[in-house]
Amino acid sequence: MSQGVPLGSPVHGVTGTEAIHETYGLTGQGVRVAVVDSGVDYKHPGLEGWLGPGCRISFGYDLVDNDADPYDDCDGHGTHVMGILAANDTRVQIIAPGATFGAYQRAQVINISIGFPDVWPDYPLSHTAQYYVERGVVIVAAAGNQGVAGLWRIGSSASAPGVIAACSFDASQYRAFYFTISGVKEHIDYFFSPPAGVDTDTDGSVHLGQYPIVSMALLEPDNTDACQPIQTRLDGRVVMVKRGGICTTDDKADNARNAGAAAVIVYNNVMIFKGHNALPSYISPWGLSPDFNLKPDVCGLGGFILSTFPLSRGGYATLSGTSRAAPYIAGVAALYLQMDGTQQADAVRRKLMNSARPYLSKPSDKMLTSAAKQGAGLSLNGDAYHTQPVSSTGSIHDEAYAGCCN
C-alpha cells in the first residue's frame, strides 16, 4: 500500500463560483439569509467567532430552549451547513461570504437542510415553506437522502410547490486519505473520507507496507458487513468489509480487531471515476413529489463537502448529503439577489434551473440521467447571471382534471 494526494478539480471550479466572485465581485453583500437548522458554533474562528448586529451571524434563536442563543457544540449539522454558506476560512470553499446570516424576519433567502421523508406537500413544514415562497422569499430545502429507496422519495419541505428542492452531486475533489492497493496484476486507488477532527493533509507518497488482503464476502458470506463477531482469525491481514448493515463503522473495526486484523477496508458499491468533474450522488433521492410534481428542481455539490464543525468535535468535517447541496444553492441565490434584488422567488428558481447543466449518464449516445434524479442538473453559477428565466417546473398532475370523475 502507498498513500498520496486526491485527484480531481476544485469544488468551485466545477460550478463557476470562483468566476462569479472574481469577475462580477459578487459575495452576497447586503442579502439576508436565514438558516433553519440545529444551531451553529458561532465561536468557530472560521465563522468569525461572533454573534450580534454587524457580525457575519447577526441573530439567532433556539426554539428548543426558547432563548436567543443558537450556539451548537454537539450535533454539528447546522455548523457544517453554515460553513458552506459563510465561513471565512481558507480550508472551506464558501459561496456567499458577504451575506448576513441569522434567523429573523424579512429574510430574502431561507435554507432548510432538515426535513421528513415520505410526506405529502400539505405536511406542516411544507405548508409553511410554501406560504413564504408565495410572499417572495427564496426557500431552498434539502430533498432528502433516500436515493436507494426507490421513486417518490422527496421529503418535506422540498416537496412544496415553489420551494427549490436541492438534489446532490458529489464533489470531484475532497480532503481524504488516498492510498493504492497494489496486487500482482491490478492496482486499485482507494479513497477514505475520515471522521471529524482528523487532518487529511498528505505530501507525496509513503510506503505503508505489504499485507495479505482477504474479503469477508469469501471468508464468511453471511457476515460480509462484519456487523457480527468474526469467527475467522485474521492475524496480520487486511480485511475488506461491505459498507452498511445494522452497525457502525466503529463496530466493524472492533470486530475485525478482535479477530486480529491489521486494518480494515470498507468498500462501497459506488465507484469514483477519474476524469469526471461531478456525478449525481447515489444517496440523492428520486422524485417525483407525492402529488406528481417534477422534483427535485436543481442539484448543488453535496457529496464529500469539507466545512466547519463544532470546535469540541474537531473543528472541521467532510460530510455528504442534500443538506450540503441546499446551502450551496441558497448561496448562489444570494449572489444573484445581490445583483438584482427585485427578483421574486419563482424567477430565481427558474433562473437557477435554466442555467443548470444536466448530467449525461451515457455521453456516447447523449443519454441524460433522469430528471427525477437530477432535476434540471448541476447548478452552474457562472451561467446563472446572464440567463433569462423561462423554464417552469413540469407536472404530471393536471389540476384542471383533478377530481373530475367519480
The three cell numbers of residue 260 are 486480529
Among 148, 162, 377, which Cα is nearest to 285's? 148
Helix pair 322-339, 77-86: axis angle to 10 deg: 30
Yes or no: say if 307 and 319 are a contact pair by the CB < 8 Å rule.
yes
How far is 218 from 216, CA to CA, in rounded Å?
5
How far is 325 from 155, CA to CA, in rounded Å?
15
Cα distances from 47 to residues 11, 93, 145, 313, in angstroms, run 20, 13, 27, 16
The three cell numbers of residue 155 are 421529503
Catalytic residue among 12, 21, 37, 284: 37
How far is 314 from 387, CA to CA, in rounded Å?
41
In three-state secondary structure terms, 364 is helix
Yes or no: say if 263 and 211 are a contact pair by the CB < 8 Å rule.
yes
b/e per residue 110-127 (b: at least 16 CB within 10 A)? bbbbbbeeebebebebbe
The three cell numbers of residue 386 are 446572464
- Is-catalytic flag, 307? no
Catalytic residue among 38, 168, 323, 379: 323
Q: Which residue in this structure is represented by grid cell 417552469?
A: 392
Q: Is the dihedral of CA 26, 112, 319, 155 positive or negative?
A: negative
Amino acid, res. 85:
L
Catalytic residue among 12, 21, 44, 77: 77
The three cell numbers of residue 196 are 471529524
How far is 329 from 109, CA to CA, in rounded Å?
10
- Is-catalytic flag, 323? yes
How far is 256 from 263, CA to CA, in rounded Å?
8
Among 370, 297, 24, which Cα is nearest to 139's? 297
In three-state secondary structure terms, 89 is coil
The three cell numbers of residue 342 are 427585485
Q: Which residues are catalytic?
A: 37, 77, 323
